[in-house]
Each structure stands twice: as C-alpha cells, then as structure tokens.
C-alpha cells in the first residue's frame, strides 16, 4: 500500500510540475491543474478515512493511471506536439470546453436517461416474470427455447425500420430498440437461474404445500436472483451501447447524439468532451447498479 501511495503521489508531483512549467505561446492550464489537484485531494482523503482497507490500494492504482494518462496527453499535445492537433486537442482546451458545454450536455442527458430508463425498466418488468414462468414450466421451456436461440442473437438495430413504421413516435421507436437489446440477456439469465436452484430447496418448499404464485415469488425468485442480477448488468451494458443508435432515430439531443453529431462535422474537440461526459455518466450508473446488486444479494455474504 505504501508503494502505491508513493507512486501515485510521485506522479502527481511530476504532473503538476509539468503543467506549471510554462509553454511558450500558451496560457497556463488552470483547468487541468484544478482537476489534478481535486483528484489528489479526493485520493488523500480516501486514504485517511479508509486506511488499511483494500479499496485504498485500488484507489492508488486508479490515481496513478489517471495521472500517467494526463501526463502523456499533455506532453504529446502541448509540450512536444507529436500528435495531430485536429484529432488530439490539448487537454486544457478540452477541459475548458467541457465546462462550457456542461449545461447543454446535462440537458441532453435528461433526454438520454428518459430513453434508457424507459426501455430498460420495460425489459426488466417483462423479462423477469416471463423468465421465471418459462424456467419453471418444463413444457413451456421446450416450446420457447428454440425461438430464444433464433431471436436472441439478432442485433436490435435491424428492427429500426419496422419500429419507425409501426410505432406512433420516434421516441417510442427508440425505447423499443433499447427494450429489445435489454430483454434477452435478462430473460435468458432468469431462465438459467431457475434451472440452477437446488432441487432440494424446491422439494422442501413443496412439502409446505405452497401455492405456485407464492412458490415463484418466495422461493424461485430469490433463488434465481444472482443470475437475474448478472443478466440485468449485461442488459444495462447493451442498453448503453444501443443508446447512441436509438438517439439517431429522429433525435436532436442526447449524449450519444452529441458525439455522433460533432463527429460528422469533424469537431474532435467536442467529440472528446462528449466521450469524457459519457464516461462519467456510465461510471455513475455502474456504481449505482453495483451498490443495488450488493443490497439485493446481501444474504450471500
């Protein structure tokens, strides 16, 4: 742990010194200095409050990698200019533009979350009950399984023409694309989760003469929850990937649309800004889902 702290702090000092070393013809990178200082402050506070925990050493790794990436980016663009200025703008310019574009990106994030949450929750609300029912009833599984193998691997974007033609609005078509992409991972993992429940547990529940709805809710659903959580995580990843494709259906805002729109105009500075913003959003969503999964599966600890 001490070596990790030393490495991260050493890289911070080197990076800060490099940033404050004047570059002829350019202003000091105040935004980048502020960002690096904030990261170091968070890292040090985490080390104080989580001293002795394994998460502290992981934070040291993350901080060291971030410092190394920022240092390489700054040296390759601002200091030595070995990269194409159009494709790889300086980090200070990107951060300054990030701050300026943040209000517009937050507005686009609201539209993106409406599509993402609507399609994802619709998939979750239909795939879990259907997966429990199909996994529980052997005859129904044998009838549905061949269609699952055929329809599951089909990329959801191939349904876009019919979604636009049959659904009443572009927003509904976008939600449908995300729904299809999220449905199959949740459904398939739910079915497999039912199959993996120990037979002795089901026999014990039957001895108690539980009715089938009670059995499904009180025994089958908790027993299949680890597989359901795995499928829900995969579905969320697919939904985030499909969000950009969904936003191309008649949309004029959104985080995926932002990147695609400025990429068409070769505005790579805003493309990088959009990528950074998406990374922050994905990190926040992933962190939230991991916390929820730990709470749902706390009985395993």
pLDDT of res. 73: 93
Phi, psi (degrees; rounded to nearest 5) at 230: -60, -45
pLDDT band at 1 (very low <50, low <70, confident <90, very high): very low
CB 99 within 8 A of CB 31: yes
Alpha-carbon torsion angle 55, 58, 64, 65, nearest 10: -130
pLDDT of res. 301: 59
68 Cβ contact partners less than 8 Å away, ≥ 6 residues apart? 11
Q: Given CATH 1.10.10.60, say whether it is the number of domain 93-300.
A: no
Tokens 């990076």 -> residue = 15
- 271-280 residue pLDDT tens: 999 999 999 9
Over range 220-247, report the average pLDDT: 89
pLDDT band at 178 (very low <50, low <70, confident <90, very high): very high
pLDDT above 50: residue 92: yes
Measured in whole angstroms, the distance separating CA 148 from the mean position of its chain's CA atoms is: 26
* Domain ranges within the chain, ordered by starting residue: 2-83, 93-300
Over range 44-68, report the average pLDDT: 76
Q: Which two tokens stand for residue 223?
A: 């027993």
- 109-158 residue pLDDT tens: 998 999 999 999 999 999 999 999 999 888 899 999 999 999 988 988 89
Q: Which two tokens stand for residue 265?
A: 């105009």
Count of Cβ atoms closer than 10 Å to residue 84 Cβ = 10
Greatest Cα pair distance in the chain = 82
pLDDT band at 23 (very low <50, low <70, confident <90, very high): confident
CB 268 within 8 A of CB 256: no
Q: Which among 261, 274, 247, 242 is positioned nearest to 106, based on CA atoms?
A: 274
CA distance 244 to 62: 28
Cα-based angle 262, 92, 46 (whole degrees, multiple of 5): 110
CB 269 within 8 A of CB 89: yes
């Amino acid at each position: 742990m001490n070596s990790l702290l030393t490495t991260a702090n050493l890289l911070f000092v080197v990076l800060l010194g490099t940033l404050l070393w004047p570059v002829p013809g350019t202003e000091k990178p105040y935004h980048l200095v502020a960002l690096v200082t904030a990261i170091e402050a968070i890292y040090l506070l985490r080390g104080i409050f989580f001293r002795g925990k394994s998460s502290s050493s992981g934070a040291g790794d993350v901080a060291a990698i971030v410092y190394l990436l920022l240092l390489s980016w700054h040296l390759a663009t601002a200091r030595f200019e070995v990269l194409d200025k159009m494709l790889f703008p300086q980090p200070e310019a990107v951060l300054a533009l990030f701050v300026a574009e943040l209000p517009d990106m937050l507005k686009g994030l609201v539209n993106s979350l409406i599509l993402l949450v609507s399609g994802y929750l619709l998939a979750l609300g239909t795939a879990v009950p259907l997966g429990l029912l199909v996994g529980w009833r052997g005859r129904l599984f044998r009838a549905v399984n061949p269609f699952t193998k055929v329809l599951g691997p089909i990329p959801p974007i191939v349904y876009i023409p019919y979604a636009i033609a049959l659904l009443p609005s572009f927003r509904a078509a976008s939600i449908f694309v995300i729904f299809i992409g999220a449905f199959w991972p949740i459904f398939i993992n739910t079915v497999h989760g039912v199959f993996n429940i120990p037979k002795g547990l089901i026999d014990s529940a039957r001895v108690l003469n539980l009715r089938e709805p009670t059995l499904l809710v009180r025994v089958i659903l908790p027993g299949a929850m680890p597989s359901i959580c795995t499928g829900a995580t995969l579905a969320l990843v697919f939904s985030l990937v499909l969000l950009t494709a969904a936003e191309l259906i008649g949309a004029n805002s959104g985080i995926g649309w932002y990147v695609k729109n400025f990429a068409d105009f070769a505005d790579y500075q805003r493309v990088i800004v959009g990528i950074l913003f998406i990374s922050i959003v994905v990190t926040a969503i992933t962190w939230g889902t991991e916390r929820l999964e730990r709470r749902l599966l706390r009985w395993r600890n």
